[in-house]
Structure 1
Amino acid sequence: MISILLVDDHELVRAGIRRILDDVKGMMVAGEACCGEDAVKWCRSHAVDVVLMDMNMPGIGGLEATRKIVRYNPDCKIIMLTIYTENPLPAKVMQAGASGYLSKGAAPQEVINAIRSVHSGQRYIASDIAQQMALSQIEPQRAESPFSCLSERELQIMLMITKGQKVTEISEQLNLSPKTVNSYRYRMFSKLNISGDVELTHLAIRHGLFNAEPMISSE
């Protein structure tokens, strides 16, 4: 039996995925979490085989939660299930220790296939995302994103800023000083040639790294 943790800040999304998985023989939804912090706590006190993780949630978010979970439980397999499919996020997520990467637009059967694949020790990346990642290696100029120059931590803070979180909130959630968070912010601004959070958000929207998240349905 494959035990699964659902992590998403939208209850309806979790309910939709649970409805899909409840009908699958050999799979069991063992728990749910609405943020990265709760997912980390849950995985430290419960055994789970696969985590379906959202990327952009209140708090530390899916990227940091993935890093923390695999650090303490390397046998746990994490699939990022998110609206964010543009470079450089898929590559950064896999580098952080995830075993799979899927769009929230994936068909229910693909989600099931991904869970089975990562549980068996394989990696699973949706074909369109894998193609995009391959193109970025073969033809960098064609698939390049301005965000490719950012570090994993800078990307994480960028996603938190585009969610409207303030420096003090980010510093508390990441256990960093406000001064350190601001250093990351200014470094991002310099790398991206922008001057503030509003420009950062507009740039993220233009490159598909910020959007309203759709709900998953079992239909």
Structure 2
Amino acid sequence: MNRILLVDDHAVLRAGLRLLLDSQPDLQVIGEAEDVQTALNQARTLQPDLILLDLSLTGGSGLSAIPAFQKAAPRARILVLTMHDDEGYVRQALATGAHGYVLKRAADTELIAAIRAVLRGELYIHPALTRQLLEGILPQPPSVSPWESLSDREREVLLLVARGYTAAEIANQLSLSPKTVETYRTRGMEKLGLRSRAALVQYALDHHLLTAN
């Protein structure tokens, strides 16, 4: 039987959590507290296997108290259960000794899975927050300029337009129909945010796109 200490300043939530956890054959709530000092005292006395810890508590921050909980109950695993879905809180909680981080909006089944994972010695992070953390770690693709976002054909048509060729001349040069040329021109201009040929010519000059043939 895994013994759990509930630490949350909302009595209704604690009551709901107790009912949920006590309904599991392998979990038992052995104590609950609404403030940091009471929770620390219970942790020392009860020596739970897991502390389910909210970050916002009466009389103090659960986040800053994590090291104290580690000292009070060295064998206890600490699973943060909070409404804060910011990756900064996740990083700080894990850095100070928490073993998992789950959001209060999680389904009952997810919370039970998180508790069991942490009790097995695993690290658990709510899936949405995992994505946030990975986005902060993984290299981001290089930014693409508007001109580079155009297709090869769109760039080809726009450069010819900027050089003064008519749609018929471009169509003949590229073996396209005038209507197809107009489609490429319109689509390319929209992607660049340009509204006239004069604006296109200026854009091409500013970006050194017009070179001598």
Give the unaligned 5+ runs of structure 2: 141-213
Equivalenced residues, count: 140
Check if 1:23 corresponds to 2:16. Answer: no
Residue identity matched to 1:71: K
Q: Deviations over 1:155-198 (max 9, x none)?
A: xxxxxxxxxxxxxxxxxxxxxxxxxxxxxxxxxxxxxxxxxxxx
Q: Counterpart in 1 of 2:84?
A: 84
User: Is 1:8 the counterpart of 2:17 in the alignment?
Assistant: no
Q: What residue number does 2:112 align with? A: 112
After TM superposition, the structure 1 = structure 2 runs for residues 123-134 of structure 1, keeping only pairs within 5 Å, are 123-134=123-134
- Give CA deviations for 1:77-113 in whole Å, capped at 9, x if unaligned: 0111000011211110011100010000011111111
Say whether the 8 Å CA contact 2:79–2:102 is kept in structure 1.
yes
Runs of 4+ in 1 over 4 A off after TM superposition: none
Shift of 1:70: 1.1
Q: TM-score, normalised by structure 1?
A: 0.61
Task: Tell me if the contact between 1:10 and 1:34 (Cα under 8 Å) persists in the aligned partners.
Answer: yes
Aligned to 1:46: 46
In structure 1, stretches of 5+ residues that fail to align are: 141-219
Q: Aligned in 2, Cα 1:116/1:95: closer, same or farther, shift over 3 Å?
A: same
The 3-state SS of whatever aligns with 2:41 is helix
1:73 Cα deviation from its structure 2 partner: 2.9
Q: Which has the higher contact order (CA 8 A, sep 6+)?
A: 1
Q: How far is 1:139 from its partner?
A: 5.6
Letter in 2 for 1:47: Q
Partner in structure 2 of residue 96 of structure 1: 96
Instruction: Say whether the 8 Å CA contact 1:7–1:34 is kept in structure 2.
Output: yes
Which TM-score applies when normalising by structure 2?
0.63
Give the conservation status (yes or no) of the 8 Å contact 1:18–1:29.
yes
User: What amino acid is the match of 2:130?
Assistant: A
Corresponding residue for residue 55 of structure 2: 55
Percent of aligned pairs with the same amino acid = 34
Instruction: Name the CA shift for 1:19/1:72 in 2 (closer, same or farther; >3 Å).
Output: closer
Q: Residue 192 of structure 1 corresponds to which residue in structure 2?
A: none
Q: What is the alpha-carbon root mean square deviation over aligned residues?
A: 1.4
Considering only CA atoms, is the larger Rg found in Structure 1 or Structure 2? 2
**1:14–1:34 Cα change, 3 Å:** same
Aligned partners of 1:39, 1:49: CA distance in 2, in Å?
Answer: 14
